[in-house]
Structure 1
Amino acid sequence: MDAVKSHHPRALPFLFFTEMWERFGFYIAQGLLVLYMTQHYGFSDDISDTISGIFAGLVYISPFVGGFLADRILGFKTSIIWGGFFLIAGYALLALSSTFALFYTALATIIVGNGLFKPNISGLLGTQYAPNDPHRDAGFTIFYIGINIGAALSGLSGYVKNAFGWNITFAMASIGLIIGLITFSFGLKYIKPTQQLKPVTRKFKYQLFLYCILAIIGLSFLLKIHSLANYLLPGAGLVLLVFLVVLTLQQNAEYRKRLLILNTLIVSSIIFWALFLQLFISANLFVDRLVDKNLFGIPLTTTVFYASESVFIILLGPLFAWSWQTLGKNDRNPSPVSKFVIGIFFAGLGFFALSTSTLYPDSAGMIHPLWVFFAYLLITIGELLLSPIGLSAVTLLAPPHLVGMMMGIWFVATGFGGLFAGMIAKIGSVPETAVTNAEKLVIYHTAFLDFAYLAFVVAIVLFFVQLLLKKLTQSS
């Protein structure tokens, strides 16, 4: 801690633990959501997959709005506090949800809270470093570790759910946010003020708070009438694609070239996130229903499996960072597009492993847990090749006057990946007529194999697109 204090802003430990607790609460909700719908409410797989996809999509799109409000009106600190209170309320409503209306309201409140909280705590950390501070990257690495510690700890929620039920488990997520906000309040005195915003009247803040409530009502309706979202959100995706094309054509030759590469990465990332988020949807149901929860005498829960992905990131992240640094010194560091190709290919390998596992059940029709951990390890490698590389590519390739906008579009694309995840998860939907494990294994085998083929095809197409882009950029 002394080293952190001497080289990093004094606010870093407080922001670290605030974000850790926020991610702890969020991954409890996201990880248990599809299980809650199928087990508590008795929703079909199709409906649960759709709602999970819409929720994931809106959760990743909402920071685009929250970041704008923090930049122009509320400031980082107020946005984080507002977001924290909405998240506390959302998880509490989820714990108390006894009706469908309250359930959808809880999800909508979480979406609004996430939009206000998630982008702005990272933005606030960035303002605490000078632009050329050599400790900036290390500070964000420490912060990223906090994110994954929180996600890993959320894996304990399965044990709590089994012992005390759904209500206590979701209440635990709310308590995590309360601890996070208390931590943040203690760190406020160490946060250096950097934003120069016009003072906002109390009346205007009340109006903005009312708009947040109206947004919750609208999002609740969108989640409830999920068939409507299936038309509106893809339409919005098409508008975004047209916007990217027009934006690219408006730039000069050098910036057009850079945006062409960046847009390729953004579009291909949608497929990756659609596959990755299956860990919380179709693969989550597969683990819950058909994977043995005992490993060498150690009892496991469904939540332990998706939380293992965060543990793998903590273990492998430093190794990947060292590898890129070493390769860069020797001018052998692969291009961002090459890393995307390999990352999507590894995601395909992960789902191929899951598909293969369904061919080797035990006498009870259950799959050995090591198959899932191995598959999730492969998918984690894919994430490490794509997620941090994508963020870096935005800052590297976007024209200086468009960096903020393109970063927002990157996260919006992740949101569309969430929507697509809900759509393709239906391939693995188990109908009520499939009652035996053998019947369910056939369905999941086909679904995971289809996901693997999708990843392999996208990786191959992206490989050839990379060759085309290389020719275009060299000729220009």
Structure 2
Amino acid sequence: MKEKSKDRAFMGHPRGLLTLSMTEFWERFSYYGMRAILIYYMYYSVAKGGLGFDQGTALSVMSIYGSLVYLSSTIGGFISDRLLGARRTVFWGGVLIMFGHIVLSLPFGAGALFASIVLIVIGTGLLKPNVSEMVGNLYGEKDLRRDSGFSIFVMGINLGSLIAPLIVNWAQVKFNFHVGFSLAAFGMAIGLIVYAIDSRKYIGEQDNQAPDPLKPGELKPLLIKVAGGLAAAIIVLGIMAATGNLTIANVIMLLTIIAIAVPITYFVMMLTSKKVTKVERSRVWAYVPLFIAAVIFWAIEESGSSVLAVFAANQTQLTFGSFKILPGWFQMLNPLFILLYGPVFATLWVKLGKKQPSSPKKFAYGLLFTGVSYLVMMLPLMLAGTDARVSPLWLVLSWAIVEIGEMLISPVGLSVTTRLAPKAFASQMMSMWFLADAAAQAVNAQIVRLYTPSTELAYFGIFGGLTILFGLVMFLIVPRIEKLMQGVN
């Protein structure tokens, strides 16, 4: 490996950035290909090849699925930090994801759906936080290429997200849902091959070993805690079953509580740990409002695969003469705009250098754009009513606005998380970034049930307005956050 500051083999960045970007390219191809058609698979009738869930339940399951995917990042962070190291953890995560998509491609109904959810949730938890942490490890602490590198990383993985809905939704319509899901499995298999070959050459030595390995005396207490957690889960589910409360809605509520409680527990753990220095503790405090801002942002951004996906199918004009738009194709808008905006923001941060806005200010601006993207969705409903099908350009406009918010929050959040992380909690702090998404989608799992044709105008207005309000509050507390960051910008 070259010295970090001198390695400029890939677009002026370390060569390992290409390896990790390609790995995430194929992982995102598999995940977003599956996600583009999953909501329809759940609520379409059996006659149309679906499972026949009611729409409210499908929306809620879709959201909690996304929450669990990111909630499981805590497992990946711990296994990387304490057991396997980042490189091997990512590989085994990819294996589980691939098998999850294979199970979903089999025509075994709801049972296969829930089995695939378990595999993909655990696999993504092992893979995602550790790939991002390895990107951070490619750069020195004061390397000004870092934000630009993360912007390129986000651009690269969104190529996979862009292509996947087009191909997978077409295959689903041309053949059936299971053929579409099989393409997702194929994509992850390719990603595994690329990673297995390249990661040995271009990933740093620090990613081959756990930075804080378990000591012999720590293994037994860990196993006891794991066994205790599993026993508690079995007992709770058993009680729910015995009392007639073991329903999808109640299980989702339980998972929502867990998804909110986990990040709170992690913050308490890091802030009270003796392994965290005074400066590191101050930086963790600075991360708290950024985390809350990220939760609010992701709650709206992630609704693209649930609320906006249903809007696309039920209330959007999909035919123009002989040309027909498939509803899953709207999922391409997210990665499309990231790819369009990515070069602009990557170049902007490099050119501005030390003059660029601080990370908290970028977050505040991002929330304003995010809130406006929901307010925009009120306009066609006010003009045409909730019963009419509206122009698809309204969805295009909404996505165009929210993705400006994403470029101000997502790559910046990845970057600032690696810089604010205590050394003893490096990968686990990276998991915190994904826990923001987990908490957001867990909240969504409850509130999406409020989304109906009679309430959608208020739905977009209330949540869009609250997001803008928090963005304004962020501007007021930026100086305090910057002080707590202790020199990190």
TM-score category by the smaller chain?
0.7 to 0.9
Partner of 1:268: 293
Q: Is 2:478 the counterpart of 1:455?
A: no
Partner of 1:82: 92
Matches of 1:7 and 1:257, distance apart in 2:
33
| Aligned positions of 1:168-187 closer than 5 A | 168-187=179-198
Q: Is 2:337 the counterpart of 1:312?
A: yes
Q: Is 2:375 the counterpart of 1:370?
A: no
Gaps of 5+ in 2: 1-7, 45-49, 241-245
Matches of 2:427 and 2:180, distance apart in 1:
37
Q: Is 2:153 the counterpart of 1:143?
A: yes
Classify 1:9/1:259 alpha carbon distance in 2 versus 1 (closer, same or farther; 3 Å). closer
Residue aligned with 1:292, SS: coil
Matches of 2:35 and 2:16, distance apart in 1:
28
| Aligned positions of 1:259-408 closer than 5 A | 259-294=284-319, 298-329=323-354, 331=355, 333-361=356-384, 365-399=388-422, 402-408=425-431
> CA offsets, 1:174-215, max 9 Å, x none?
11112222333443553457124689xxxx9xxx9xx9xx99
Q: Is 1:351–1:452's contact at 8 Å kept on the other side of the alignment?
A: yes
Matches of 2:77 and 2:183, distance apart in 1:
27
What is the one-letter code of the residue matched to 2:98?
A: I
Classify 1:99/1:304 alpha carbon distance in 2 versus 1 (closer, same or farther; 3 Å). closer
Residue aligned with 2:389, SS: coil
Q: Is 1:292–1:366's contact at 8 Å kept on the other side of the alignment?
A: yes
- How far is 1:375 from its partner? 0.6
What is the one-letter code of the residue matched to 1:94?
A: L
Partner of 2:39: 34
Classify 1:305/1:249 alpha carbon distance in 2 versus 1 (closer, same or farther; 3 Å). same
CA RMSD of aligned residues (A): 3.8
Partner of 2:29: 24
Matches of 2:247 and 2:432, distance apart in 1:
26
Classify 1:97/1:69 alpha carbon distance in 2 versus 1 (closer, same or farther; 3 Å). farther
- How far is 1:123 from its partner? 4.1
What is the one-letter code of the residue matched to 2:404?
A: I
Classify 1:381/1:19 alpha carbon distance in 2 versus 1 (closer, same or farther; 3 Å). same
> CA offsets, 1:85-144, max 9 Å, x none?
211211121121433222211111111111222233344555667778887766554433
- How far is 1:84 from its partner? 2.1
> CA offsets, 1:410-450, max 9 Å, x none?
2212211111122222221x4xxxxxxxxx3x433232222
What is the one-letter code of the residue matched to 2:443?
A: F
Q: Is 2:130 the counterpart of 1:120?
A: yes
> CA offsets, 1:157-185, max 9 Å, x none?
22222211201100111111122223334
Matches of 1:70 and 1:289, distance apart in 2:
43
> CA offsets, 1:17-39, max 9 Å, x none?
33212110100122322221111
What is the one-letter code of the residue matched to 2:250?
A: S
* TM-score, with structure 2 as normaliser: 0.79
Q: Is 1:63–1:116's contact at 8 Å kept on the other side of the alignment?
A: yes
Equivalent residue for 1:155, pick from 165, 173, 176 = 165
Classify 1:161/1:443 alpha carbon distance in 2 versus 1 (closer, same or farther; 3 Å). farther
Matches of 1:293 and 1:353, distance apart in 2:
20
What is the number of equivalent residue pairs in this alignment? 447
Q: Is 1:10–1:190's contact at 8 Å kept on the other side of the alignment?
A: no
Matches of 2:98 and 2:194, distance apart in 1:
14
Partner of 1:436: none
What is the one-letter code of the residue matched to 1:379?
A: V
Q: Is 2:133–2:430's contact at 8 Å kept on the other side of the alignment?
A: no
> CA offsets, 1:244-278, max 9 Å, x none?
35754777775555433321111221111111111
* TM-score, with structure 1 as normaliser: 0.81
> CA offsets, 1:282-318, max 9 Å, x none?
1111111111124697532222212111111111112
Matches of 2:483 and 2:148, distance apart in 1:
36
Q: Is 1:94–1:170's contact at 8 Å kept on the other side of the alignment?
A: yes
Residue aligned with 1:385, SS: helix
What is the one-letter code of the residue matched to 2:308?
A: A
Residues 294-303 or 111-120, more deviating: 294-303
Matches of 2:17 and 2:482, distance apart in 1:
41
Gaps of 5+ in 1: 431-439
